Structure 1
C-alpha cells in the first residue's frame, strides 16, 4: 500500500467512555443512506472477508513473477491455503511505463516474463486466486499508467488474464468525482462476465462506507497503515464504529496486515490480527512469507480467530464498552455463539471485564474458549481477564440457556403492532397487524435459531434471498440457513444467510407502520422498525 503524504485525515471515531465495566454502552449508529442501496456488484464474490497476500507492505515496487510464485508455493506447503487464504495479490509497479500501440497495459517482461496470464495460470494451478492492482486516475501512485478512461479495455484484459481480484487505487484522479470513477470500473468488471472481487482503495476520504456496497466488495476506511503500534490503534479507532456498513458481500477495509514485518512485538501483532478478525476485515498478509518466524506463522494459522473472521453471519464486532484505552467488542456468530474481545491499547497490564448480558448473551452460565490458548472455562455472569499491555484476549462464548420457552408475540418498535402471518398460509409474506393473540402471531424460537409459527412453519428469507428487499415468508421448516435468525441485544433479528435484518418496509416513516405493512430483509441500521420486543 502506498504511503501518501497527501492523504487527508478525517475525524477519529470514538466510542463511549467512562462507564462502569459491567455496563453496555450502545455504540452510535453510523449515518447510512435512507435511499435503497442496490448491491450492483453482487456477483457472488466476497461473501466472507477476503483472505490472502499483498506484496506492498514488505516489498513495495520490488514485485516479480518469482515472488508471486514462491508465495503461492508457501501458501500450499505451510497450510495457509487450507486455513482459508486464497488470494495472492500483485500491487503497483507490475507494468511498463507506457501502454502499447493498441492502448493496452503491458506487464514488465523483466519482472513478469510469463506475463500476468502465465503468473495467474501458475497461481490457479495451486488452487489459489490472483489479484492485481490498477488506479482510478491517469497514473498509478508509483507513476505507471492508470485506468481512467481505459476502464472497459483494462477490465477486459484483466479478465482475459484470469485476474480474480482488483485493488483500485485513487492517485492522479484529476479531481473527477470519486463515485463516478469507481462506478466506471465496476461496470467494466461486470461487463466481462468474470467474478472479480473489487477493492475500493480511496483511503476513506469520501466516506465509502456510505456508498461502497453499491460499487465494490470492500472499501478502505482509513489512511495507509504502517508497521507501528500507534498506526494500528489509530486505524482501530477509525474503523470500529463503522460496523453497520459491513456484511456479506461488502466489507470495511482498515488496510492490510503488518503482522511479521518487524516493527511491533508478537503481542502487538496478535492484537492486530485479533482486532482485524473481529472487525470482519480482509486478512491480507503483508509480510515476506519466505523469511517469517514460526511465531508469525502461528498467528496467521490460528483457526479459532480465522473462524470468527470468516463466520457466515458476516457481522462486524460492535463496541459495547470503552474507557478510552480499554475496550470490549462483541460479535454475534451464526451458530448463536459470541466472540468477545477484551482489548488493552495502554502500556500496562490491566483487568478488563464485562457481563454476559452486556455482550448480548443470557446470564446463568456460559462456556468460554480462549481463541489464542485454546483453554476453556466457565462463567455465571462476568467475562474478564488480565490483559497485557498492548494485548487482546478473544473469547468464543457459548451460553447454556436455550431460547425462551413457549410462544411469544414479536411487537415492532416503530409500530406497536405484531409480526403476523396472514391467514396462517405457507408461502405468504409476513406483515404487521394489530396484536390480537391469534396463533398466526405466536412465534417460538428454537435452539437452532428458527422462528416457528403453527409448529411446522418457519420465518424464511424467500428463495434464499440475500438482497435488501427480499420478502420474509412462512415456509415449511427445513433447517436451511435462510430460516435461521440471530437476535441482537437491541431486539433486531438478523438472518444467518443474508446478514440482513427483519425490517418493516420503510417503517422509519410513521405513515408506513399501518396494518398490513410488509416485512422484508434490509441492511441493519438500528432503526425502531427493525426492533422487535418479545411480549
Structure 2
C-alpha cells in the first residue's frame, strides 16, 4: 500500500533507495510513520537464501489488489464484484487467481480476546463470508496486515499478535497475506531498538506455518534492509522498492531498482517491484512496457485497477497469454540486462523449453532502433532462429541479428526459438580480467578484502585477487563464500573519474556491469566505461569510470 514515509538516502552502499511517495489523505501523524529512519541490517550474502518451503508461488503470483484504484474504500461488495468480473472477463482464465484486500478492512480495536475484527459496515458477511464467495468462483482471497503496531492507515498491526492473527486468517479461509512495514515498535525518527524487519517478518512466517493452511506470504518492506538477500527464506515475494504510482517516471525508477536483482529470485520466491498500474493513467504504450518488463523480470502480476470497468485495451494487455507465459515460465529465471546504453535496454530471460524471451525497451521519448544478437542473449548452434513478437504474434527468422524499431516509452518483446541456450542472458564467466592496452590484469591491491579499496592493474598472477566472475545478473565478483565482494561504482557515482572499488554485494545497479562485444565493460547505472586511468601501463595504475572513447585502455577480456 501507500506509505507516508521518506526513505533515508545514505551515502554508503548499505541500502537500496526506494522512492518515497505522499498521499493527501494521510494524517500528519502518519507522515512521521515509524521506520522513517530505521536502522539497517548488515549486508547479506550475494546469493539467495534457500526458498521458503511452503510449495507455494512456484511461479510469480497473479491477481488483484484494491489499493491503487480504491485506497481505503474497500468493501465486501467491491471484492465480490471484482472477483466476478475476473471470473467473467478472461482474467481468471489467463491465470489470475488472487483477489486481495488491502488496508482499512478492519475496525480500530481488537475484540476482548485480542482478535482482529472485520469492519461490519464494510464486510457484513465478515472475511470468511467474502472468502466463501471468492472461493465459489474458483478464485482465492488475500488479506493485508502490518508487521508493526499499526497498519499504514492506522488500524491494529500484528506486532505481538502474530499467531492470533495468523490463526484468524486461516480460520477465515485466507489464501494470501500481504504484510506491510509501518509503525514498527521502538523504531522512530530518532532511531530506536525495536525488532528488525527480518525478525518481525520471520515471526509471522512461522505463525502462518503453524496454522497448517497454505497461505502465500508477500513481504511489503519497501526494499529496506536489502530484503532480497534474506527474503527467499522468509516469504514468497518481497518488495524491492518504494511504492509505485501511475506515472512513467515512477515505473521507470522502479524498473531500474529491480532489474539488477535477478540472482535472488526463483521458484517460490520473487523480487516484487510493486503492483501493476496498467489502466490507471499511463498511455497504452507505457502500460504495455510495464507488463512486458514485469513479465521479463519474473515479477508478481498484481493488477491495481478498476477491474469491473476496465477498458478492452487494459484487459487486452493484462490477458496477453504470450507475455504471461514468459512471466509464468516454470524455469523461474528473472531476465537480466545484456545491454543498456543511452536509455535503450536489452533484457534476456531463458525459458524452460530452451527459448529465450528478449525485451527491447526504449526509455526515451522518441522512436529508436534497438539491436542485439542471438549470441548476446545466450543462443548458439543454429543457422536460423525464429522470432515471435509477443504483442503482435508475428513471426520472422534471423541468422543472428535481432533488431526492432521501438516507439518512445515502448517495448518490443520477442521469443527466440532455435539452437541451444547458454552463456549469455544469464550465464557466467570466470577468469582474469585482462587490460588489453596495458597487457596486465585487473587487480585488488594487496589482496585486500576491505570495502572501498580501489582496483588497479598489475602483472597477471592467477591469484584470487585477480580472478573475477561475471555473473548471470551482471555482477563482477571477486573471492568466494563469505569473503565475496563486488565491483562497485563508488558512492553510486555516474560521472567520469568515479572510483571503481570492491564492496559487499548488494544487487544495486552501481554493481551491475555489461561485458560488451567491442571489448568494453560498462556500468549499467552510469553507462560509463571501465578505464585504466590516463592510459597507464604501470603496476598499480588505478581503475575508474570514464566516458567511453574506444581507446585501448578501455578494452578488456575475461578468461
Report the TM-score, using the length of structure 1 for normalisation: 0.71
Q: 1:171, 1:490 → 2: CA distance?
A: 37
- Provide the rounded CA distance (Å) in 1 between the counterparts of 2:271 and 2:300: 8
* Secondary structure of 2:287's aligned partner: helix
Query: Which residue does the alignment assign to 2:314?
Result: 296
Shift of 1:402: 5.8
Give the Cα separation in 2 of the matches to 1:231 and 1:35. 27
Taking the aligned partners of 2:213 and 2:250, their CA distance within structure 1 comes to 36
Task: After TM superposition, list the pairs within 5 Å mapping 1:66-81 onto structure 2.
Answer: 66-81=77-92
Rate the CA distance shift 1:233–1:116 in 2: closer, same or farther, 3 A: same
Q: Is 1:311 equivalent to 2:322 in the alignment? A: no
Q: Verify: 1:388 aligned to 2:407, yes or no.
A: yes
Give the Cα–Cα distance (whole angstroms) in 1 for the partners of residues 288 and 201 of structure 2. Answer: 34
How far off its partner does 1:324 sit?
Answer: 3.8
Is 2:267 the partner of 1:260?
no
Offset, 1:508: 9.2
Distance 2:8 2:288 in 1: 29
Match of 2:27 in 1: none
TM-aligned CA deviation for residue 507 of structure 1 = 8.4
* Conserved 8 A contact 2:48-2:232: no
Aligned equivalent of 1:55: 66
CA spacing shift, 1:78–1:11, aligned 2, 3 Å: same
Instruction: Identify the match of residue 356 of structure 2 among 315, 323, 338.
Output: 338
The verdict on how the C-alpha distance between 1:291 and 1:202 changes in structure 2, with shifts beyond 3 A counting, is same
- Quote the residue 1:82 is aligned against: 93
Q: 2:304 aligns with which of 273, 286, 290?
A: 286
Instruction: Assess if the C-alpha contact under 8 Å between 1:343 and 1:387 holds in 2.
Output: yes
What is the Cα-based RMSD across aligned positions, in Å? 2.7
Aligned partners of 2:253, 2:116: CA distance in 1, in Å?
37
Q: How do 1:405-484 residues align onto structure 2 when only pairs under 5 Å count?
A: none
- Which residue in the other structure is 2:492 paired with? none
* 1:244 pairs with 2:263: yes
Match of 1:210 among 229, 249, 261: 229
Partner of 2:220: 201
Which residue number in structure 2 is paired with residue 110 of structure 1? 121
Aligned residues of 2:58 and 2:268 also touching (Cα < 8 A): yes
TM-score normalized by structure 2?
A: 0.68
CA change 1:186–1:11 in 2 (3 A) is closer
Structure-2 separation of matches of 1:364 and 1:56: 50
Distance, in Å, in 1 between the alignment partners of 2:331 and 2:421 is 19
CA distance in 1 between counterparts of 2:53 and 2:91 reads 27
Equivalent residue, structure 1, for 2:556: none
Q: Aligned pair in 2 of structure 1 residues 91, 508: CA closer, same or farther (>3 Å)?
A: closer
CA distance in 2, matches of 1:213, 1:242: 12
Corresponding position of 2:206 = 187
Per-residue deviation at 1:42?
1.1
1:214 CA displacement: 1.1
Q: Matched residue of 1:331: which SS?
A: strand
Matched, 1:323 2:335: no
Deviation, structure 1 residue 291: 1.5
Which of 46, 49, 74 is residue 37 of structure 1 equivalent to?
A: 49
Displacement after TM superposition at 1:36 (Å): 8.6
The residue that corresponds to 2:447 in the other structure is none
Q: Deviations over 1:254-302 (max 9, x none)?
A: 00000001x2100000001100010000000000012211000100110
Instruction: Determine if contact 1:12/1:237 at 8 Å carries over to the other structure.
Output: no
Instruction: Give the secondary structure class of the aligned counterpart of 1:374.
Output: coil
Which of 370, 382, 387 is matched with 1:368 structurally?
387
Segments of structure 1 that go 5 or more residues without pairing to the other structure are 14-30, 405-411, 415-488, 493-505, 511-525, 527-535
Asked if the contact 1:7–1:203 (Cα under 8 Å) also holds between the matched residues in 2, the reply is no
Give the structure 2 partner of residue 465 of structure 1: none
**Could you tell me how far 1:389 is from its partner in structure 2?**
0.3
How many Å apart are 1:79 and its aligned residue? 1.2
Q: Measure how far apart 1:33 and its partner are.
A: 1.6
Q: Which whole-Å CA distance do the structure 2 matches of 1:208 and 1:139 have between them?
A: 21
CA deviation digits over 1:215-254, x for unaligned, max 9?
A: 1010000000010000010000000000000000000000
Provide, for residues 302-329 of structure 1, a one-character-per-residue CA deviation record: whole Å limited to 9, x for no partner.
Answer: 0000000000000000100000411000
CA contact (8 A) 2:367 2:408 kept: yes
Q: Deviations over 1:138-159 (max 9, x none)?
A: 1000000000000000000100
Contact 1:8 1:205 in 2 (8 A): no
* Aligned match of 1:5: 5
SS in 2 for 1:271: helix
Match of 1:167 in 2: 178
CA–CA separation in structure 2 for the residues paired with 1:365 and 1:148: 58
* Residues 3 and 403 (structure 1), Cα distance of their counterparts in 2 relative to 1, 3 Å cut: closer
Q: Does 1:150 align with 2:140?
A: no
Contact 1:45 1:195 in 2 (8 A): yes
> What whole-Å deviation, never above 9, does each CA across 1:387-417 have from its counterpart, x for those lacking one?
0000000000101x3689xxxxxxx979xxx
Rounded to whole Å, the distance in 1 between the matches of 2:47 and 2:396 is: 46
